[in-house]
Each structure stands twice: as C-alpha cells, then as structure tokens.
C-alpha cells in the first residue's frame, strides 16, 4: 500500500507536490558540516559520479523549468541545471543563489536584486538582468504564476541596469525574497518553448543527456557559486519508493532521495546504509473549519487540540520519524515561537470546553482524508480513536485524491491536509490564514491575526517584525483552524561513501554541489 500512497503524492502532482514546490522551504535545520564522525575526519574531495534515485511518474515528465513539476526527479534535474534567484538557507530562510544580494526600498515595496558576479550560462554568455526579467515574467505568466509570485504584477518586473532586477510589490512585503526561492529558474531571454528542454542553464551542472525522466549531468567548472565537487550526477526516475530503496540496498544507486519512513525502517538493519533525516520536512495538520459548522466555536477547536496524543501520533503515523507539533505552522523558521508552551493532552479540560461550547456529542463527525502521502490516512484514523476519549465520535472518510482536492479541500468542516515542505511562519500565514488568502483551508477570518500579519510584513525594523511575528503565532496557537500534531522528517537513504548531502527540509535537498564521494 505504501507504494500506492507515495505514488499518489506525485500523482497529485499538480496539487500535492506543487504545493510542495510552492512551499519550498528552509529552516535553521542542520548545519552543513555536522555529518557523522567518520566523515568529519575526512577532507572533501572532488571526483566521482553520484547516482541519485528520485521519485517521479513517467507520464508526468516535464522539461519546462516553469512548468508543473509533479515529479521530484524533474525538479532535481532542473535545479541542478538552472538556478533560482535565491535558495533555502540554514541560518536564514533565504540564501543567495543567482541573486547575490537584494535590497528593499524604505516602504518595502520595491526590491532590487543584483545578479551574482561571474554568473554565466553553460554556453558562456553572461547572465543579464534582461534574462532574469524575461524568465520571471514567463514564470508569472504560467497558470499558477499569480500564486508563485503573489503581489507582483508582470509589468512590475523590470531591469534597472545590466545586473539589477527590480521587483515592485503591490503591498509592503518584508519577505519578498522568500518568493524567489521557488521556481524562479533563469533561462536565456527569448528561449522558444520548443527549445526549453535543451536550453542552457546557469547551474552547477550541465545536462549531458535526458531520456524519459532519467538524466546524466556533468560538472560546470565555470559555476559562479564556487567549486563543484562531483564529476557527474546521474538521476534515475523511480515510480515507487520500494523499488528505489531496493536499488540502493543493491548498490545500483548511491542516494535514494526522499524515500520515506517505510524504506528507512527496512534500511535500519543495514550498517552500511546511512539514514539521513531532514527535520521539519512535512506538515500534515488536521483542518477544522472556523467559519461555520460544528467546529466554528474556538472552544471546540481547542478541545480537539487538547484531545490529541501527539507523541502517539508521531510514533505511529510517522513511524517515529518526526517531531511533535504545537499547532503553529512554520516550525523550521528561525522566528518560530519556541517559547510558547507545548500544548499537552488534557482530556478533562477538553471535555469541559466541549460542554461549555454546547458541542453535540451524540452526532458522528466525518474526518475526510486521502492516501496521497504515507501516514496521512493513518493519522486520521488514529486521531479518531483518540477523540473518542472525549466522547467525540469521528468517522474517517478516505477519498480518492482527485475528489478530495475538488470537493473537500477548502470546504469540508474537518479534514486532513499536508504541505509538502515546512515553510516559514509568514508563508503559511499569507497562504492559508490571512482572511483574504486564496488557500484559506479553515476559512479563518481573524482581524487581530490579519493586523499582526500586516504589521509583520510591513515592518522594516527586524525587532519590530519579530515582535509582530510572535504575536501572530500566539493568535494562531490560540484560535486558528489548524491542529498541527507533528512534523514529518524528510528521509533520504545513502550509501556509505556519500558525504555532505543537503540537510535542509523540502527542496533544500536538491543542492548537491557540495556533496562528495569518499571512495
């Protein structure tokens, strides 16, 4: 069954994984050099070919850097060949990539991005602001463009000089550079659609060949970002995580990327296999509708949050590969409010809150879920069992992925959702919680929250901003429509010789230029 579920994640392509892309993430996570003790004594060396397995469906292969990337294999290949303006970072949410620096105007509406010194395409031509502007406009022109670059109209993407790109936001946005970590892949200006597939990129690797989702990439010695260690990377597309794990165990590949907890359990008995956990990788909260219906009363939502046994959820639904959540989305963010006390199970208080709210415990409530990703449906079933202890009867309804995204998501009173990567606090606030947000999963409208959000993104002063973000998280903790019981780890498996794989959550894992082979 695991096969099917994981497949469906990529099947849900447009919806599921694209959400993951849109949520391209970062966090304070692991620092780059804390690999295991054996590796620590070794100096990074260059050379060798890294064979990476990545999930994808043969039917959904895409070559367009701005297309709908449902396949992780495609995204991996694209991000090795092309560069985004910024990338997920470990100390800050956003680290420079093709854009070396950025600077906002006083009012936080106008942002100037400077292209990295020495950045050039694989054919040797330097990257100009015109190339970037053209690429961003092309990205903005895709069907999901408005959500990929929210608040930025196409005509407000301009070149100031050869090396400076100017983005003007419709509103003050202190977090605008965050948006440029997504699929802002830069291509040469005026590349025709039918030439996109083989067009030169600016990335650390050059495409040698591509066939049906498989590819071989070779080192770009002239990369502006520094020395690339591997000679080459071979990407192999895998339909199922099981097959990918088998390939790794059999030595046919060196890395099984994002292979999941089931494979990790299999590999635990094998000494020579490294199990790499990328914390804060995926959120799969339960959504309680706040606008109307049985969960509109904040006391009922609080009761459900108090009824969940978080440790048990992490242990069983995630096989232990995860951490307990505190109902605030964006756990990997440096500004995440760690000082808000962890909500614990309190059945007595939960029952009391239900009674105060006059909650009808004679009825049975549907909790709708899908099998899009491993552990999601399990988490729903487990929660239903736990909720029985406060006399809330929950009936788990599993829906076909397509029906779920069409009929349930954004609409049902109680359902599970997931965000493929765990992004910043402000990302989730803007996408899913501000009153006017397009993907307001719980239909939440909370004036104090909106106010805190506006204060946060409009604050030029870091201290003021941090304060506003903290306030925003307090409100989210107290009243939002989310029950975030835990965060799933991202799990990669790697052979013994692989060193310095990226440890950031989400698409932080695609930056392989620092990875090397000790053999």
Partner 1 sequence: MAGPLIPASTADGATAPEDRSGPARILPGAGRAAWLVARRLGMLALLLAAVFAAIEVLPGDAAQATSERGESAADVAVRRAALGLDRPVTERFRDWMSGLPTGDLGTTAHGQPVTTVLSGPFPNTLLLGSLALALSITGALALGSWATLRPGGRVDRAVAAASTAAFALPEFVVSVALLLVFSQWTGWLPAVTLTGPDGAPASWDMLVLPLLALAIPQIGWNTRIVRGAFADQADLPHVQAAILDGLPRHRILTHHMLPGALPAIAVSTATSAGMLVGGAVVVETLFNYPGIGAVLAGALTDRDTPLVAGVVAVTGAAISTLLLLADLIRDRILGTHR
Element (H, E) at 378: helix 376-387
Contact status: 18 vs partner 1 (CB under 8 A): yes
- C-alpha–C-alpha distance, residues 328 and 245, integer Å: 33
Which of 92, 214, 381, 466 binds partner 1 (CB under 8 A)? It is 214
Q: What are 288's strand-pairing partners?
A: 414
Which of 30, 39, 52, 60 binds partner 1 (CB under 8 A)? It is 60
Q: Which of 191/352 has CB closer to partner 1?
A: 191
- Stretch of 248-256, 276-284, 295-303, 467-475 contacting partner 1, by CB under 8 A: 248-256
Which of 205, 321, 405, 477 binds partner 1 (CB under 8 A)? It is 405
Element (H, E) at 366: strand 364-369
Minimum CB–partner distance for residue 144 and partner 1 (Å): 4
**59 with 7: CB under 8 angstroms?**
no
Q: Which of 117/212 has CB closer to partner 1?
A: 212
Which of 138, 148, 289, 514 binds partner 1 (CB under 8 A)? It is 148
Contact status: 21 vs partner 1 (CB under 8 A): yes
Site size with partner 1, rule: CB under 8 A: 55
Rg for the chain (alpha carbons), in Å? Answer: 23
Contact status: 216 vs partner 1 (CB under 8 A): yes
Contact status: 92 vs partner 1 (CB under 8 A): no
Which of 91, 338, 402, 519 binds partner 1 (CB under 8 A)? It is 402
Complete DSSP assignment for 458-501: T--SHHHHHHHHHHHHHHHHHH-SEE--EEEEEEEEE-TTEE--
Residue with tokens 């230029």: 513
Q: Which of 244/392 has CB closer to partner 1?
A: 244
- C-alpha–C-alpha distance, residues 88 and 104, integer Å: 19
Contact status: 390 vs partner 1 (CB under 8 A): no
3-state secondary structure of 502: coil
**263 with 28: CB under 8 angstroms?**
no
- Stretch of 15-23, 89-97, 293-301, 477-485 contacting partner 1, by CB under 8 A: 15-23
What token pair was written down for 132?
A: 């970037």
Which of 144, 166, 312, 340 binds partner 1 (CB under 8 A)? It is 144
CA angle (516 as vertex; 513, 517 as ends), nearest 5:
150
- Stretch of 82-90, 145-153, 159-167, 170-178 contacting partner 1, by CB under 8 A: 145-153
Which of 24, 27, 54, 62 binds partner 1 (CB under 8 A)? It is 62
- C-alpha–C-alpha distance, residues 322 and 3, integer Å: 20
Minimum CB–partner distance for residue 69 and partner 1 (Å): 9
Minimum CB–partner distance for residue 62 and partner 1 (Å): 6
- C-alpha–C-alpha distance, residues 164 and 158, integer Å: 9
Minimum CB–partner distance for residue 44 and partner 1 (Å): 27
Residues numbered 413-442 forming contacts with partner 1, rule: CB under 8 A:
438-439
Which of 39, 132, 247, 264 binds partner 1 (CB under 8 A)? It is 247
Contact status: 58 vs partner 1 (CB under 8 A): yes
CA quadruple 465, 466, 470, 475: dihedral, nearest 10:
10
**230 with 512: CB under 8 angstroms?**
yes
- DSSP structure class, residue 213: T
- Stretch of 245-253, 339-347, 472-480, 495-503 contacting partner 1, by CB under 8 A: 245-253
Task: Say if strands 255-256 and 49-55 run parallel, antiparallel, or are unpaired.
Answer: parallel
Query: 3-state SS of 150-212?
Result: CCCCHHHEEEEECCEEEEECCCCCCCHHHHCCCCCCCCCCCCCHHHCCCCCCCCCEEEEEEEC
Q: Which of 68/319 has CB closer to partner 1?
A: 68
- Stretch of 27-35, 125-133, 394-402, 453-461 contacting partner 1, by CB under 8 A: 394-402
Q: Which of 125/252 has CB closer to partner 1?
A: 252
CA dihedral over 145, 147, 149, 151, signed as positive or negative = positive
Contact status: 249 vs partner 1 (CB under 8 A): yes
Contact residues for partner 1, defined by CB under 8 A: 3, 7-8, 10-16, 18-19, 21-22, 57-62, 64, 67-68, 70, 143-144, 146-148, 209, 211-212, 214, 216, 236, 238-240, 242-244, 246-247, 249-250, 252-253, 400-403, 405-406, 438-439
């Amino acid at each position: 069954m695991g096969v099917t579920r994981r497949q469906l994640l990529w099947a849900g392509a447009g919806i599921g994984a694209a959400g993951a892309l849109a949520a391209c993430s970062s966090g304070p996570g692991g620092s780059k050099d804390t690999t295991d003790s054996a590796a620590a004594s070794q100096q990074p060396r260059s050379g060798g070919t890294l064979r990476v397995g990545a999930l994808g469906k043969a039917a959904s292969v895409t070559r367009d850097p701005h297309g709908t990337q449902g396949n992780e294999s495609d995204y991996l290949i694209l991000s090795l060949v092309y560069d985004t303006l910024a990338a997920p970072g470990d100390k800050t949410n956003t680290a420079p990539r093709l854009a070396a620096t950025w600077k906002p105007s006083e009012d936080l509406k106008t942002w100037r991005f400077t292209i990295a010194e020495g950045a050039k395409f694989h054919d040797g031509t330097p990257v100009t602001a015109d190339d970037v502007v053209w690429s961003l406009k092309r990205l903005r022109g895709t069907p999901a463009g408005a959500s990929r670059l929210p608040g930025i109209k196409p005509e407000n993407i301009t070149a100031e000089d050869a090396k400076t790109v100017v983005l003007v936001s419709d509103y003050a946005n202190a977090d605008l550079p965050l948006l440029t970590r997504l699929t802002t892949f830069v291509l040469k200006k005026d590349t025709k659609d039918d030439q996109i597939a083989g067009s030169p990129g600016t990335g650390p690797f050059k495409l040698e060949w591509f066939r049906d989702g498989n590819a071989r990439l070779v080192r770009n010695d002239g990369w502006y970002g520094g020395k690339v260690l591997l000679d080459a990377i071979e990407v192999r597309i895998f339909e199922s995580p099981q097959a990918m794990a088998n390939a790794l165990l059999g030595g046919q590949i060196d890395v099984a990327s994002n292979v999941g907890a089931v494979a990790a359990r299999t590999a635990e008995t094998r000494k020579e296999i490294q199990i790499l956990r990328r914390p804060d990788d995926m959120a799969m909260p339960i959504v309680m509708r706040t606008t109307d219906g049985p969960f509109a009363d904040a006391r009922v939502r609080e009761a459900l949050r108090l009824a969940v046994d978080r440790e048990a959820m992490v242990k069983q639904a995630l096989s232990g590969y995860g951490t307990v959540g505190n109902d605030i989305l964006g756990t990997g963010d440096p500004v995440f409010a760690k000082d808000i006390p962890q909500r614990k199970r309190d059945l007595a208080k939960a029952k009391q809150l239900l009674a105060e709210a006059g909650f009808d415990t004679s009825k049975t409530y549907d909790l709708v879920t899908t099998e899009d990703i491993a552990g999601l449906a399990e988490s729903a079933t487990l929660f239903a069992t736990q909720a029985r202890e406060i006399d809330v009867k929950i009936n788990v309804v599993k829906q076909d992925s397509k029906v779920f995204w069409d009929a349930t998501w954004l609409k049902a009173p109680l359902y599970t959702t997931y965000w493929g990567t765990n992004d910043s606090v402000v990302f989730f606030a803007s996408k899913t919680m501000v009153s006017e947000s397009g993907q307001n999963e719980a239909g939440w409208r909370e004036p104090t929250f909106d106010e805190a959000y506006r204060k946060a993104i409009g604050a030029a002063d870091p201290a003021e901003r941090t304060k506003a973000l903290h306030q925003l998280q307090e409100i989210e903790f107290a009243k939002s429509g989310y029950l975030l019981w835990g965060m799933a780890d991202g799990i990669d498996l790697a052979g013994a010789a692989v060193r310095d794989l990226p440890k950031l959550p989400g698409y932080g894992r695609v930056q392989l230029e620092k990875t090397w082979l000790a053999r």
